[in-house]
Amino acid sequence: MKVIGEKVIAPNGFFAVGSHIGIKRKRKDLTIYYSKNNCNAAAVFTRNALKAAPLLWNKKLLDDGNKIRAIVINSGNANACTGEIGKVHAQQMAQDLADGLNLNKEEVFVASTGIIGQVLPINLISKGIQDNIPALDNREEAFNDAAEGILTTDTFTKQITIELELFDKPVKIVGQAKGSGMIHPNMATMLSFLFTDANIGSSLLQKMLKESVDDSYNMISVDGDTSTNDMVVLLANGKTDIPEIMPDSTEYDMFKQALDKINRYLAKQIIKDGEGATKFIEIHVRSANSKEDAKKMCKTVINSSLVKTAFFGEDANWGRIVAAMGYSGVKFDFDKINVLFKSNSGEITLVDNGKPIEFNEDRALEILEEKEIKAQIDLNQGTAEAKAWGCDLSYEYVKINGEYRS
């Protein structure tokens, strides 16, 4: 496995473009992805019962077993809670791109991100799609533009390429994502687009993606809000001439490890770009009775507003952590637990076998002043473990979200 890094080396047969068409004042606000070959598709959507129009369109295409050739995304407007006209506009975006690429609209996924409850400026978007189709390219610069076109309140692009050798041939997986607020371990408020030239069947692709999402995007938290537009899409066009990847094979294991690495990386980048965030926090629950218990406790702790604000205040208030553990729904024996904090400045134990430890407050502050902090919780009950990632809640978060529409 070769991690090429925070850039895109396009998989065979994939093209992209990103540009500013006028939905937002200045920043790029339209992205198109395109494959010359039919793609097997997999997707995971928000668990919010209120789903934006593009997600309803995409889910129908997926349920009907359609091959996907292209994706069009606008930012600055979520096309959510806009009624029947929203559904019409989502299909219009698919039709416009299909017309320009000589496809059927059922081969086009659609995504929107931005402000909820506003009708799309569909004429502007239709013209933008038409104008940008000739600019589709497979160069790094084109994918960089695409990464910018999906951003909303993000402060930087999030992308990665991994190359691995399968059946003695190089295969690439590329990931690009957006997200920085309304992030909650229920998918998060984010979009993630993944592309590979590997040959993988649709059902296996879906299984692989669902498992990977559960251990990455579903384990992050900024603010506890779950969006209407969350979506992760994985397209495989089989453009690299290799045999089909089969379950329980060495090639499957290798591909899955690479996919997991990409999704964990992008999930962490979303957290590091959390609105107003000053800390990146990892919660690591160890020695639980089951992975399900460990994940449930991780999610509860990382999503606690009181835990987040304690980290923002650089306060070693471990009581907030154990309180969150207590309402997580996971059974544990407090008299067995250990709690400690770690950072580049060292580590400090706060609770040892259920007993509070008198610690040096100045030493604790040194550890918590770092930008990246790990809170390790040992339940001392079993062998399962899990990790979740999040950020603190700051004054700046309130400012950003208070002024979002303006």
Other Cβ atoms within 10 Å of 133 Cβ, number: 19
Instruction: Work out the widest C-alpha separation in the chain, in whole angstroms.
Output: 70
Q: Which letter, b or e, does each residue of 232-255 get, where b requires 16 or more Cβ atoms within 10 Å of its Cβ?
A: bbbbbbbbbebeebeeeeebbebb
Does the active-site annotation cover 196? no
Handedness of CA 309, 266, 17, 109 (dihedral sign): negative
Tokens of 33: 């992805």
Total Cβ atoms within 10 A of residue 376: 18
Rounded Cα distance between 164 and 252, Å, is: 12
Element (H, E) at 125: helix 122-132
One-letter identity of residue 336: K
CB-based contact 350:373 (threshold 8 Å): no
The b-or-e profile of 308-325 (16+ CB within 10 A means b, else e) is: bebbbebebebebbbbbb
What is the chain's percent helix, strand, coil content, to nearest 5? Answer: 35, 30, 35
Give strand ranges (E) for 46-123: 68-77, 108-115
Contact 21, 213 (CB under 8 A): no
Cα distances (angstroms) measured from residue 191 to each of 3, 112, 150, 175, 224: 22, 9, 8, 11, 17
Q: Are 194 and 8 in contact (CB under 8 A)?
A: no
End-to-end CA distance of the chain: 45
Q: Per the residue annotation, which of 189, 196, 226, 228 is the catalytic one?
A: 189
Active site residues: 189
